[in-house]
């Protein structure tokens, strides 16, 4: 089978040396993608809906304790374990290398959620609601998911679609930096960089060749599209 039929292969670079753990990306993602609002109850039950989480680890011994942050979102694996286990093709691989998730196909077997080693898939255990006037903030570009379906980061596929349409109408390819997912757009330290990995001159591709690069759980052979950068120096936070 031909592996790629598109000139794009979307990917991201997360520079951990730049990340301050401020959480702006989490909020931006939540606002952009109509992610359900979860309170203390849901989060303590392990049913929070965040598509992007900042994992915080404490390293060192008191008094020299430092925080280390790891933003984790869907890794958009090329060999995604979540995809083939879905019995109804709700989770599939699109030609741009994205991990698609079709909400209205999903029957809620939660098999994909189990088989995701990064645990970035979130399930609508609750029938989430947006009481007025919160419903005014819902993005019209995104569906609102019902209870019983799985959802996850899409790399803001609605922005990618829009950029593709714009580019098509102007008869050109998408320019580097033209698309920014909400998280990358919001990041104050520019720790998140999004772009086309298939273009070797794109910023994201150049960064992904950095000697500081690594990928999460690389030993599993999932081939994530997200590269993390981490130098050997001391944590600065």
Partner 1 sequence: MSEPILPAAKSSSQLNDEMLSSLRTPTWSWYALALFLGAVVAWGLYAFGYMLTTDMSCTGLNRPVMWGVYIVNFVFWIGLSHSGTMVSAILRLSRANWRRPILRAAEAMTVFTVAVGGLFPLIHLGRNWVFFYLIPYPNQRGLWPNFRSALLWDATAIFTYIIGSSLFLYLGMLPDLAVARDRSSGWRFKLYSVLAMGWRGAAREWAIFHQASTLMAALIIPVAVSVHSIVAWDFAVTVIPGWHSTIFPPYFVIGAIHSGVAAVITLMIIIRRVFHLEDYLTPLHFDNMGKLLLVIALLWSYAYFVEVQTTWYAHEPIEWEVFSFMADKYAFLLLFMIFANSVLPIVALCFKRLRRSIAVMLVVSVLINVGMFIERFLIIVPSLSHKNMPFVWGTYRPTWVELSVTAGAFAGFALMYTLFAKCFPMVAVTDVRELEAQKSVVRLSRTRLQSSAEKE
Partner 2 sequence: MEVLGIFSDKESAGIAVEHLIKEGFVERQITSLTSVAYPDGVLVRTEQRTWFRWFTLACGIAGAGAGFLLAAGTAWLYPVKTGDKPIIAFYPTGIVTYELTMLFALVGTIIGMFLEMGLPTLRKRVYDPLIAEGYIGISVSIHSGGEAVACGADVLPRECIGAVAALPPDEQASRAEEIMKAAGAVRTIAEDRI
Q: Which does 34 bind (CB under 5 to 8 A by kind): partner 1, partner 2, none?
A: none
- Candidate list 2, 3, 46, 140; residue touching partner 1; CB under 8 A: 46
Listed residue (26, 21, 29, 10) closest to 227, CA to CA: 10
Residue 119 interacts, among partner 1, partner 2, none and using kind-specific CB cut-offs from 5 to 8 Å, with partner 1
- Residues 66-125 within binding reach of partner 1 (CB under 8 A): 70, 72, 81, 84-89, 105-111, 113-115, 117-119, 121-125
Closest separation in Å from C-beta 95 to partner 2: 8
Q: What is the closest distance, in whole angstroms, from the C-beta atom of residue 106 to partner 1 in the complex?
A: 7
**From the list partner 2, partner 1, none, which binds 1 (C-beta under 5 to 8 Å, kind-based)?**
partner 2
> Any long-range contacts for 170-178 (C-beta under 8 Å, 24+ apart)?
173/7, 174/8, 176/201, 176/202, 176/203, 176/204, 177/203
Q: Which two tokens stand for residue 58?
A: 């404490």
Complex with partner 2: residue 12 or 116, whichever CB lies closer = 116
Looking at beta carbons only, is 27 or 54 nearer to partner 1? 54
Report the partner that residue 228 touches, choosing among partner 1, partner 2, none (CB closer than 5 to 8 A by kind): none
Site for partner 1 in 124-183 (CB under 8 A): 124-127, 146-150
What is the Cα–Cα distance from 114 to 104, expressed in whole angstroms? 20
Q: CA 81, CA 21: separation in Å to the nearest integer? A: 28
Quote the least distance from Cβ 167 to partner 1, whole Å.
28
Pick from partner 1, partner 2, none: which does 74 bind, CB < 5 to 8 A by kind? none
Angstrom distance (rounded) from CA 167 to CA 161: 10
Q: What angle do CA 131, 137, 142 make, to 5 degrees?
A: 105
Number of residues that bind partner 1 (CB under 8 A): 44
Where do the H-state alpha helices sit in 45-119?
111-115
Terminal C-alpha separation, the chain: 47
Cβ closer to partner 2: 99 or 196? 99
> What are the two backbone dihedrals, phi and then psi, of residue 72, each rounded to the nearest 5 degrees?
-120, 125
HSE on the CB side for 199, CA within 13 Å? 17
Could you list the residues that contact partner 1 (CB under 8 A)? 45-48, 53, 55, 57, 70, 72, 81, 84-89, 105-111, 113-115, 117-119, 121-127, 146-150, 217, 220, 222
């Amino acid at each position: 089978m031909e592996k790629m039929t598109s000139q794009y292969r979307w990917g991201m670079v997360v520079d951990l040396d730049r990340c301050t753990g401020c959480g702006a990306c989490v909020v931006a993602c939540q606002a952009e993608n109509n992610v359900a609002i979860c309170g203390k109850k849901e989060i303590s039950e392990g049913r929070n809906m965040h598509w992007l989480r900042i994992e915080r680890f404490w390293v060192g011994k008191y008094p020299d304790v430092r925080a280390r942050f790891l933003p984790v979102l869907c890794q958009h694996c090329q060999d995604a374990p979540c995809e083939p286990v879905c019995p109804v093709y709700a989770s599939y691989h699109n030609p741009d290398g994205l991990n698609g998730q079709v909400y209205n196909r999903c029957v809620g077997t939660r098999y994909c959620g189990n088989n995701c080693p990064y645990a970035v898939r979130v399930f609508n255990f609750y029938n989430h609601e947006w009481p007025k006037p919160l419903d005014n903030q819902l993005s019209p570009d995104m569906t609102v998911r019902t209870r019983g379906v799985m959802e996850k980061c899409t790399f803001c596929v609605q922005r990618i679609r829009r950029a593709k349409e714009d580019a098509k109408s102007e008869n050109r390819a998408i320019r580097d930096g033209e698309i920014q997912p909400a998280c990358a757009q919001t990041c104050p330290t520019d720790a998140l960089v999004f772009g086309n990995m298939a273009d070797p001159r794109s910023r994201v591709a150049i960064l992904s060749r950095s000697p500081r690069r690594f990928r999460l759980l690389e030993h599993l052979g999932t081939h994530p599209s997200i590269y993390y950068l981490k130098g050997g120096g001391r944590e600065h936070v």
